[in-house]
Amino acid sequence: MKRSTLYPILIALFLCAALPLILSGKTGGPAPEFTATASNGKTVRLADYRGKYVVLEWHNNGCPYVGKHYKSGNMQKLQKQWTGRGVVWLTILSSAPGEQGYMTANEENDYLAKVQAAPTAALLDPTGQIGHLYDAKTSPQMVVINPQGVVIYDGAIDDKPTTDLEDVPGATNYVNLALEQALAGKQVETPTTRPYGCSVKYADSAH
Amino acid sequence: MRSCCSSTKFLWNLWLGVALLLCAASVQAAGTPIPHGTLELIAENQSIAAGHELYLGLHFQLEKGWHIYWVNPGDSGEPPRIKWQLPPAITVGEIEWPTPRRLGTPSIVDFGYEDEVTLIVPIHAQASLASQQSAQIGAEVKVLVCREICIPGKAQLSLTLPVESRMAAPDARNSSLFAAARKSLPRPAPRSWKLSVADAGNSLVLTANLGHQVSQAVFFPLAESQIDNAAPQKLLPASAGFRLALRKSDQLRKPIARLKGVLVLSAAQAYIIDVPLGSPGATENTGAEIYAAQFLDEVPLR
């Protein structure tokens, strides 16, 4: 193969390789747009929140790692704290019907009331479309999007990948760090971590 | 009369005691319950001697379909965590992890063990143990057991080993479990192998010259967040080895210094590899890049 024909192919290959990164909502890249139905019946478009910080929280109420953050009240505290400061908090349920964590709108509304959760909205994603768009692997995986629509954090909620409630108080919370640093006009020091937890129960989950 | 009855009663009590002991022993053998399985702490030898090393084992038996995790759990889950409770004269080494399996779904891949696994760990008795009659060994194990769903479990295990002046022969009851555990450990890579790793942009390419052909190779990374666990590992067999393209993890922000992990060539051939990231010649590097791009993105080059 001649060099002159090889270069365009190499460039094409590079673009092919880079395209999935650009499209899949990786840290530093644009947050993929989505439209979803919330448990309160409203239609939520990510684009409507341009100009605000947005937190995405992958949720499965049967997952013990998620349970750690709800039973300790940590997640509710974060939701109240950040929505109180104008941040949009979207809880996302990507479990397929029949899988752990799948909820109908009514079930989710009852759950939110029972645990006194305070997200801006809980989005029902039974097809896993939003989950796959962000390549969400676990619950509770967390994503932070800045007002320009760029992903500034993607990963674990904190640095203690366990199910122990006693690990919550001493943990370094990466969502807090990312939002605090971004709001202070600083670079986010830890823009990505391994998202610990239960696997997201997509329709392709093994049985 | 009285002496007759009391001796009958004594015998009866003795038999009751023996029966209870047997009962306790059978419960012990069945292991401590954990979610969807049992866990037992076993020792390779029946006693321990000062100045010697002895292997302990954590034998997990799981119901069909349930799994626990390797030291690097992959995309989700977590490895078992052990808090040892040991006499001051005993020190514990690192768990020797058997070769894991790929578990999970096309989009989320975990590394772990199904059915049955024994994690072995060496302990060392210092000279001061000689003054003791026995050594009480305790282990608090936290373990996540998963199928489609995950259940955290906790077990408190204990074992009492008599202290003797010489090491006892291996305990026959446990020898098959220890033999199976050792057989399932990855071995050090042969010295004759020539391994190199090249950074090829979106992927790391492991080039292996083994002196023979292989038809399959799967790499299990020891460190989290180095490679994309779910991405297919593309193998290009060569006359004396292979090239294996491993897509980098999205969480990998800095160049890696070494690629460490377990390379599995077949069910009976698993090797520990630890390869520094090389700076191979320009030709080889370009080759690796083209190869990686070609195989990872399914774009035909010719």
Nearest CA-CA partner of B137 in B271, B213, B43, B209: B43
Provide, rounded to the nearest whole percent, the portion of chain A with pLDDT above 90.
84
Q: Is residue B200 part of a domain?
A: yes
Q: Is B279 part of any domain?
A: yes
pLDDT for residue B153: 97
List strands edge to edge, sheet with B53-62: B32-34, B37-43, B53-62, B116-125, B90-92
- Tell which residue, B74, B33, B29, B2, has the closest CA to residue B229: B74
pLDDT value, residue B285: 41
Report ipTM (2 d.p.).
Answer: 0.82
CA B282, B286, B292, B295 torsion: positive or negative? negative
Yes or no, beta carbons of B142 and A10 under 8 Å apart:
no
Q: Which of B170, B185, B200 is the last residue of a domain?
A: B185
Whether residue B100 is found in the same domain as residue B193? no
Question: Mean pLDDT across the stretch B112-125?
Answer: 98
Give the percent of chain B with pLDDT over 90: 77
Q: At what angle do helices A74-83 and A174-183 cross, to 10 degrees?
A: 10
Q: What is the CATH number of the domain that holds B85?
A: 2.60.40.1250
Give the lowest-confidence range in A125-134, A174-183, B11-20, B197-206.
B11-20
**Shared-domain flag, residues B38 and B88:** yes
The reported pLDDT for the residue numbered B254 is: 87
Q: Are residues B39 and B154 located together in one domain of the fold?
A: yes
Q: What is the CATH number of domain A32-199?
A: 3.40.30.10
pLDDT tier, B1 (very low <50, low <70, confident <90, very high otherwise): very low
**pLDDT given for residue B27 in this prediction:** 40
Does A166 reach chain B within 8 Å, measured CB to CB? no
Same domain, B194 and B181: no
Query: How far is it, in rounded angstroms, from Cα B260 to Cα B262?
Result: 7
What is the reported pLDDT for A21? 43
**Which residues 99-138 on chain A approach chain B with CB closer than 8 angstroms?**
99-100, 132, 135, 137-138
B108/A137 CB distance under 8 A: yes
pLDDT digits (tens, 9 = 90+) for A142-165: 999 999 999 999 999 999 999 999
List, for residues A35-90, the tens digit of each pLDDT value.
999 999 999 999 999 999 999 999 999 999 999 999 999 999 999 999 999 999 99
Could you say which of B161, B185, B209 is where a domain stops? B185
Q: What is the CATH number of the domain that holds B285?
A: 2.60.40
Q: What is the pLDDT of residue A97?
A: 97
Residue B160 shares a structural domain with residue B219: no
Query: pLDDT tens digits for B218-234?
Result: 999 999 999 999 999 99
> For B138-145, what is the mean pLDDT?
98
Please say which residue of B156, B185, B214 terminates a domain.
Answer: B185
pLDDT per residue as tens digits for the range B153-182:
999 999 999 999 998 889 999 999 999 999
Same domain for B266 and B142: no
The proportion of chain B whose per-residue pLDDT surpasses 70, expressed as a percent, equals 82
**Which of chain A's residues have a Cβ under 8 Å away from the Cβ of B144?**
64, 163
> How far, CA to CA in Å, does B177 sit from each of A1, A120, B49, B168?
57, 53, 22, 18
> Whole-angstrom Cα distance, residue B81 to residue A171?
18
- Residue A19 near chain B (CB below 8 Å): no
**Searching chain A, which residue's CA lies closest to the CA of residue B75?**
A137
Tally of domains within chain B: 2
Domain boundaries, chain A: 32-199
Q: At residue B271, what are phi and psi to the nearest 5 degrees? A: -130, 145
Residue B178 and residue B199 share a domain: no
Question: Which of helix, strand or coil describes residue A44?
Answer: strand
Q: Are residues B77 and B124 in the same domain?
A: yes
User: Are A161 and B78 inside 8 Å of each other by CB?
Assistant: yes
Asked if A199 lies within 8 A of B76 by C-beta distance, the reply is yes
Flag whether B1 is in a domain.
no
* B301 to A161: CB separation less than 8 angstroms, yes or no: no
Q: Quick check: A34 and A94 in contact, CB under 8 A?
A: no
Q: Are residues B167 and B41 in the same domain?
A: yes
> Looking at the structure, do residues B126 and B36 belong to the same domain, yes or no?
yes
Same domain, B230 and B155: no
Please state, in angstroms and rounded to a whole number, the distance separating the CA atoms of residues A94 and A101: 8
pLDDT averaged over every residue in chain A: 91
Write the secondary structure of chain B as one string of H (helix), E (strand) and C (coil): CHHHHHHHHHHHHHHHHHHHHHHHHHHHHHCEEECCEEEEEEECECCEECCCEEEEEEEEEECCCCEEEEEEEECCCCCCEEEEECCCCEEECCCECCCCEEEECCCCEEEEEECEEEEEEEEEECHHHHHCCEEEEEEEEEEEEECCCEEEEEEEEEEEEEEECCCCCECHHHHHHHHHHHHCCCEECCCCCEEEEEECCCEEEEEEECCCCCCCCEEEECCCCCECCCCCCEEEEECCEEEEEEEECCCCCCCCCEEEEEEEEECCEEEEEEEEECCCCHHHHHHHHHHHHHHHCCCCCC
Contact A199 B152 (CB under 8 A): no
User: What is the C-alpha to C-alpha distance for residues A59 and A39, in angstroms, rounded to an integer?
Assistant: 13
Paired tokens of B268: 């009976």
Q: Which of B108, B110, B297 sits opposite A13 (nearest CB)?
A: B297
**B121, B214: one domain:** no
- Whether pLDDT at B97 is above 50: yes
How high is the pLDDT of residue B55? 98
**Is residue B4 in some structural domain?**
no
Please state which of the ranges A162-171, B17-26, B65-74, B98-107 shows the lowest mean pLDDT.
Answer: B17-26
pLDDT (average), residues B184-197: 96
Nearest chain A residue to B250, by CA: A26
In this predicted structure, the answer to whether residue B301 has a pLDDT above a threshold of 50 is: no
- Does B26 fall in a domain? no
Structural domain that includes position B132? 32-185
Is 80 exceeded by the pLDDT of residue B68?
A: yes
- Using DSSP's 3-state secondary structure scheme, residue A72 falls into coil
Tell me which chain A residue has its CA closest to the CA of residue B66. A207
Chain A and chain B share a number of CB contacts under 8 A equal to: 95
Q: Cα(A110)–Cα(A39) distance, rounded to whole angstroms?
A: 10
Taking only the tens place, the pLDDT of each residue in B29-57 is 569 999 999 999 999 999 999 999 999 99
Residue B121 pLDDT grade (very low, low, confident, very high; cuts 50, 70, 90): very high
Q: What is the pLDDT of residue B3?
A: 45
* Sequence letter at residue B131: S
Q: For residue B133, is it within any domain?
A: yes
Residues of B with CB under 8 A from a CB of A: 75-78, 81, 103-108, 110, 142, 144, 146, 148-152, 201-202, 224-225, 250-251, 253, 290, 293-294, 296-297, 299, 301-302
